[in-house]
Amino acid sequence: MNELARRIDAALPQTQCTRCGYPDCAGYAQAIAAGEAGINQCPPGGAEGIERLAALTGQPPVSLDHKFGIEGPLTVAVIDEAWCIGCTLCIEACPTDAILGTNKRMHTVVEPYCTGCELCLPVCPVDCISLEVVSGERTGWQAWTPEQARQGRERYASRQLRLVREKQEHEKRLEAKAREKLSDLAEHSQITDPALLDKKRAVIEAALTRARARRTEP
């Protein structure tokens, strides 16, 4: 990320809501810096956010493009625990790990960590999540503080690192199982035909080679 993109990213509310059309605030910042996105695509930042981006980019302030949403108050997600079925889909969708719970157990939202991104709403199969306004009539940056933005960025970054780590650990477990099976393929397989066993061995060895290659990728 270049210096301009970093400054733009720092001026965004860091809700990680994706309403701008990019996967996260950093992605939107880079797109603005590259001239690939307008400065009026961030509903959580609202009019004040556009003014901040205009000052950074030298572009004239424009109205928020309503196809990306409208400026509104700060909200937090609330789960009706009586209806929650513990599917974990909201946990997987939350960009800041603000939802706690396990499979088939009711979930709950840790309010201070919720950015009001709304990403948990469409994935809930029983519609047990609602939004509660917590900023009164204040909207945009008037409803959001620099400290909340900093926390949103840090929690999102921590979540991304956790997902990478969990993926690597999962791949290591799969690789270990594959190596165990390969060490005595006849014992671990119902196949008795030597030719088919050789074919299966080749498939497993190819999979292990691909796994090694992924680990060495920059």
The DSSP code sequence of 4-37 is: HHHHHHHTS------TTSSSSHHHHHHHHHTTSS
* Res. 199: pLDDT tops 80: no
Instruction: For 111-150, write each residue's pLDDT tens digit.
Output: 999 999 999 999 999 999 999 999 999 999 999 999 999 9
pLDDT at 21: 97
Task: Tell me the average pLDDT of the chain.
Answer: 90
pTM exceeds 0.85 for this model: no
Give whichever of 74-83, 176-185, 199-208 has the largest mean pLDDT. Answer: 74-83
Helix (H) or strand (E) holding 65: none
Token code pair at residue 94? 């939350």
* Residue whose structure tokens are 């991304």: 160
Of 121, 41, 1, 159, nearest to 12 (Cα)?
Answer: 41
Rounded to whole angstroms, the Cα distance separating 153 from 136 reads 24
Rounded to whole angstroms, the Cα distance separating 76 from 15 reads 11
pLDDT band at 218 (very low <50, low <70, confident <90, very high): low
Q: Where do the domains of the chain lie? A: 3-68, 75-142, 167-216
Instruction: For 148-197, write each residue's pLDDT tens digit.
Output: 999 999 999 999 999 999 888 888 887 777 777 767 666 667 666 777 76
pLDDT at 217: 63
Of 160, 22, 19, nearest to 5 (Cα)?
Answer: 22
- Cβ count near 157 (within 10 Å): 14
Q: What 3-state class would DSSP assign to 38?
A: coil
What number does CATH give the domain 3-68? Answer: 1.10.15.40
Q: Could you tell me the CA-to-CA distances from 110 to 70, 77, 189, 214 in Å, in that order?
A: 25, 9, 47, 35
pLDDT band at 54 (very low <50, low <70, confident <90, very high): very high
CATH number assigned to the domain with residue range 75-142, chosen from the 4 options 3.40.640.10, 3.30.70.870, 3.30.70.20, 3.30.930.10: 3.30.70.20
